[in-house]
């Protein structure tokens, strides 16, 4: 029997929804989930159709009719798709939900809009299992506020106003979680992801990781642990600025293909921001044209599984039939690592730069 959860990611502009969505797709697919994305309706209307308020004599009230209509249609399609895909565990992520539109019009106007669809606020709220509100970087992380989204036009002050209005929109939802900017960006995303794991009834991955060089093992050797297989191609791209790492990744899992772009940049000697987003196939093909010839691309088969409550991944490489890389996630740095008997460790390589992704891509045959 299928388990389908539908959650809303919301919040003011530049809060981290894009990065969170990308991380969720990547992680949850490794434990057997199909993640379906309902993109932000307003952004599609503005960027894709040129339908926007004021600019072409369309009132904000009339614009919201288009937004709600698009949102409801796409959510319906997502629910239908959830019944068709082969996976039994489905997460539908809505980049904003219908209630977000309440932030842009009066209560009376919003009621008039949803009445056209024979809906009430109570029915709308009950259609979502949970709401994750990511506080805008305009409130507490102003250095990260940007205009990367073509449909983002708000100034910092306007973004703060929309932040407060959005908080009010979802105040009556039975399961709303607000993630603020008291953490650094990576911790903010991790905290939000842990909330999603809780909503799904899954155990969040631990934050500590140890890495080992092991003898080659494949799906037959790991069959007892029902591993999820992923085929990954990771391409390292030329950096735009000193210290910035850029990469594009293609992940094939359960016949589903996802594409990701990741950019890591330092903001202090001890802290960095990692931005990640999903790509279309066309965007991915454009990105990999920027390949860094020094590091190139690396292809690997990844097997993801749980062993005694610990999340493990084994990466095997087509150019090396003797060795593989094992990652084990731990809850404490002093925790004893208990590994499956099918895995034979050659040595621990935790923290060894030679076994990080970009270096492996440079010297695969030296594994």
DSSP 291: B
pLDDT of residue 264: 77
Residue with tokens 């030679």: 354
pLDDT of residue 254: 77
Task: Please say if the pLDDT value at position 270 is more than 60.
Answer: no
Query: Does the domain formed by 3-200 have CATH 3.40.47.10?
Result: no
Of 126 and 209, more confident = 126
pLDDT of residue 145: 46
Task: Please say if the pLDDT value at position 96 is more than 90.
Answer: yes
pLDDT of residue 152: 45
* pLDDT band with cut points at 50, 70 and 90 for residue 163: confident
Domain ranges of the chain: 3-200, 208-366
* pLDDT band with cut points at 50, 70 and 90 for residue 263: confident
Task: Please say if the pLDDT value at position 153 is more than 70.
Answer: no
Find the range with the poorest average confidence among 38-42, 147-151, 352-356: 147-151
Of 180 and 341, more confident = 341
pLDDT of residue 367: 53
Which residue spans within the chain are E strands per DSSP?
Answer: 3-10, 33-38, 89-95, 130-134, 176-179, 208-215, 228-237, 245-253, 256-268, 271-279, 297-307, 310-317, 320-330, 345-348
Q: What is the average per-residue pLDDT within 239-265?
A: 84
**Domain 208-366, CATH:** 2.40.320.10
Pick from 141, 176, 132: which is nearest to 159 by CA?
141
């Amino acid at each position: 029997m299928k388990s389908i959860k539908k959650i809303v990611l919301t919040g003011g502009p530049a809060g981290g929804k894009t990065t969170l969505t990308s991380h969720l797709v990547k992680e949850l697919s490794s434990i057997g989930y199909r993640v379906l994305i309902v993109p932000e309706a307003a952004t599609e209307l503005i960027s894709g159709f040129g339908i926007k308020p004021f600019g072409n004599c369309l009132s904000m009230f009339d614009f919201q009719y288009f937004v709600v209509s698009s949102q409801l249609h796409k959510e319906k399609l997502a629910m239908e798709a959830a019944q068709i895909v082969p996976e039994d565990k489905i997460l539908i992520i809505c980049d904003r939900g219908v209630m977000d539109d309440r932030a842009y019009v009066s209560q009376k106007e919003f009621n008039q809009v949803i009445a056209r669809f024979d809906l009430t606020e109570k029915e709308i709220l009950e259609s979502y299992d949970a709401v994750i509100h990511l506080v805008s970087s305009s409130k507490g992380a102003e250095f990260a506020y940007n205009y990367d989204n073509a449909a983002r036009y708000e100034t910092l002050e306007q973004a703060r106003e929309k932040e407060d209005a959005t908080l009010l929109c979802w105040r009556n939802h039975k399961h709303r979680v607000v993630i603020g900017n008291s953490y650094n960006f990576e911790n903010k995303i991790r905290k939000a992801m842990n909330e999603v794991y809780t909503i799904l009834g899954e155990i969040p991955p631990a934050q500590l990781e140890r890495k080992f060089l092991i003898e080659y093992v494949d799906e037959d050797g790991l069959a007892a642990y029902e591993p999820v297989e992923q085929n990954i191609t990771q391409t390292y791209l030329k950096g735009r600025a000193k210290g910035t790492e850029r990469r594009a990744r293609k992940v094939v899992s359960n016949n589903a293909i996802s594409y990701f772009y990741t950019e890591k940049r330092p903001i202090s000697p001890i802290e960095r921001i990692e931005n990640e987003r999903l790509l279309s196939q066309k965007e991915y093909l454009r990105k990999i044209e920027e390949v860094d010839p020094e590091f190139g691309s690396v292809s690997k088969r990844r097997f993801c599984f749980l062993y005694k409550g610990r999340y493990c991944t084994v990466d095997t490489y087509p150019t090396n039939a003797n060795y593989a890389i094992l990652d084990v996630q731990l809850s404490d740095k002093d925790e004893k690592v208990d590994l499956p008997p099918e895995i034979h460790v050659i040595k621990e390589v935790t923290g060894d730069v030679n076994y990080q992704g970009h270096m492996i891509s440079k010297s695969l045959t030296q594994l």
